Amino acid sequence: MSLDIDDILAELDRDTTVVDNISSDNFPNANNNRHKLTKDYSLSPNSSLDTTTVPQHNNSSSGKKKVISSIEDFSKLMTLWKNERCSPDLLPYPHLLMKRMLIRIQEQMEHLEILSMNFFEAQGNNSSDNRRNMSNAPVNNNKMLPLLCMEAELERVKFVIRSYLRCRLAKIDKYSIYLRQINEQYLNEEINEENDDDADDDDKENPSSLRISPLEKLLSPEEIRYHQSHFSLLLNLLNESVLKYMPDELQAVNDTEASINMIDEPDYNKFVFIKVKGPPNNLYDTDPLLKKRTHPDIYYYSITIPETKEDIDLIIGSIYIVRYSLIKNLLLDEKIELL
């Protein structure tokens, strides 16, 4: 059920994507190209991912709907990518953002195919065989340049997403038992709550079918499936080669009672470099954690180091190096980013 809702929301996002109308005065050739090659699609060399198939939407008609431009999405993606690579923990999966990016990438690929097919039809009559394309008349280059730029940008976006997903998969592999433990704890809690016959009215309003498990928040459905399948494959391998030869009490793979805990937890005490951004969308007034020094006007967050009982002021715009556990909440609220 929830996945369908996500799909619908993503569709809405796409429909309200803004077209950035960048003046193409600097690219006269591109302008000519646009008129020649494109029929239904707009071509803007600078921000080539801003295509939209519903050009009649604009800000005024969408009224109070939130419009998320692809530039915002892209910078959000970059931040998420950097955060994921630097953090020792698995960060929550951006479901909607990914859906939007996927749609944009697919549209862009189709767009480019159509453009290049048109282009090569035009060029097809005088094409050569193995000669370097660059040695042809330079005029071809100028016409191709926007196409090349768009392709290059598409490759870059694909690379970022690829790196992001692979990083997450690597973390999932590393912490598979730990993730399972989280899931099991959650399921046990659910069972305990269901067994309580004197349920409150609150519980009746939130039936368990609508509650999202922590694993679903953290991982995409594909990642969940990957996690489960990979873990069962690995468990099978370990069972067959090692565990079945062990005595009964040592046959578990998640044994926490032995001298060393078998479940590898992420290292929450790892030191990370952070940059303090401040509240998202610059909502300085509504952030309860944000404090202000009056003389001079400096905004900061305050955290306490439990071991030395020190207070540290994280001033907005500065860079610090702290333990991950101290700043995890701020990171999830998008008030700081990792470097």
Partner 1 sequence: MYGDLANKLIIEAKRTEQLTQKYLDAALNSDNGGIRNDFNGNETIIPMYNDELIYNILKEVNQLKQNTEYLQHIKQEEEETKDQLKDVLSGHSNDKIRKCQYFVNLLCLERNKRCLMAYQRMRSDIIDKMVWNGLIGSNNMYNNGSKRSGYNELSHYEQEYMSQYKNLIDEMNSESELWSSIEIMGNMNPPSDIFIDIRVLKDIGEIQTEYGTFNFVKDSQFYVRQSDVERLIQQGYVQKI
Partner 2 sequence: MGYYDLDDILADSAEIPCKFLHDIPGLGYLENNPGGTIHVNTQLKLPLWLARVLAIIDASSASDDVGNADIFNTEQQFTPFLNMLTPETFTNKVINAIKTDPISLDLHSINPYFYALAIKWIELFSDKDLAEIVSDLLLQRSQVINAHANSTTISYNNNSNSTSSTGNNNTTNNNHALFTLTLDEFEKKIYKEANDSYKDIKKWIYQY
Contact residues toward partner 1 (CB under 8 A) are 98, 102, 105-106, 109, 116, 120, 127-130, 132-134, 148, 151-152, 155-156, 158-159, 161-163, 165-166, 173, 220, 222, 225-226, 229-230, 233-234, 236-238, 240-243, 245-247, 250, 253, 258-260
How many whole angstroms separate alpha carbon 196 and alpha carbon 315?
A: 47
Min. distance of Cβ 58 from partner 1 in angstroms?
28
Q: Which does 161 bind (CB under 5 to 8 A by kind): partner 2, partner 1, none?
A: partner 1
Cα radius of gyration rounded to whole Å, the chain: 26
Using CB under 8 A as the binding rule, the residues of this chain from 262 to 321 that contact partner 2 are 262-264
How many whole angstroms separate alpha carbon 68 and alpha carbon 97?
A: 10
C-alpha closest to that of 324 among 95, 94, 75, 84: 84
Is 179:172 a contact under the CB 8 Å cutoff?
yes
Distance (Å) of CA 214 to CA 91, 156, 187, 205, 253: 11, 31, 10, 19, 22
252 in contact with partner 2 (CB under 8 A): no
Nearer to partner 1, 164 or 324 (CB): 164
Nearer to partner 2, 137 or 260 (CB): 260
260 in contact with partner 2 (CB under 8 A): yes
Q: Which does 252 bind (CB under 5 to 8 A by kind): partner 1, partner 2, none?
A: none
C-alpha closest to that of 62 among 121, 127, 13, 9: 13
259 in contact with partner 2 (CB under 8 A): yes
Map residue 337 onto helix, strand or coil: strand
Distance (Å) of CA 26 to CA 21, 32, 44, 213: 13, 12, 11, 52
**Residue pointed to by tokens 């369908």:** 4
How many angstroms from the chain centroid is the CA of residue 4?
Answer: 19
Number of chain positions touching partner 2 (CB under 8 A): 6
Q: Which does 264 bind (CB under 5 to 8 A by kind): partner 1, partner 2, none?
A: partner 2
Nearer to partner 2, 143 or 227 (CB): 227
**In b/e form, how buried is each residue of 152-182, taking b as 16+ CB within 10 angstroms?**
ebbeebeebbeebbebbeebbeebbbbbbee
Q: Which does 185 bind (CB under 5 to 8 A by kind): partner 2, partner 1, none?
A: none
Min. distance of Cβ 253 from partner 2 in angstroms?
10
251 in contact with partner 2 (CB under 8 A): no
Q: How many CA atoms lie within 13 A of 326 on its CB side?
A: 23
- In this structure, which amino acid lies at residue 181? Q
Nearer to partner 1, 185 or 261 (CB): 261
Residue 292, strand partner residues: 299
Nearer to partner 2, 262 or 305 (CB): 262
Among 133, 208, 261, 318, binds partner 2 (CB under 8 A): 261
Q: Which does 273 bind (CB under 5 to 8 A by kind): partner 2, partner 1, none?
A: none
Nearer to partner 1, 245 or 268 (CB): 245
173 in contact with partner 2 (CB under 8 A): no
Q: Which does 237 bind (CB under 5 to 8 A by kind): partner 1, partner 2, none?
A: partner 1
Q: Which residues bind partner 2 (CB under 8 A)?
A: 259-264
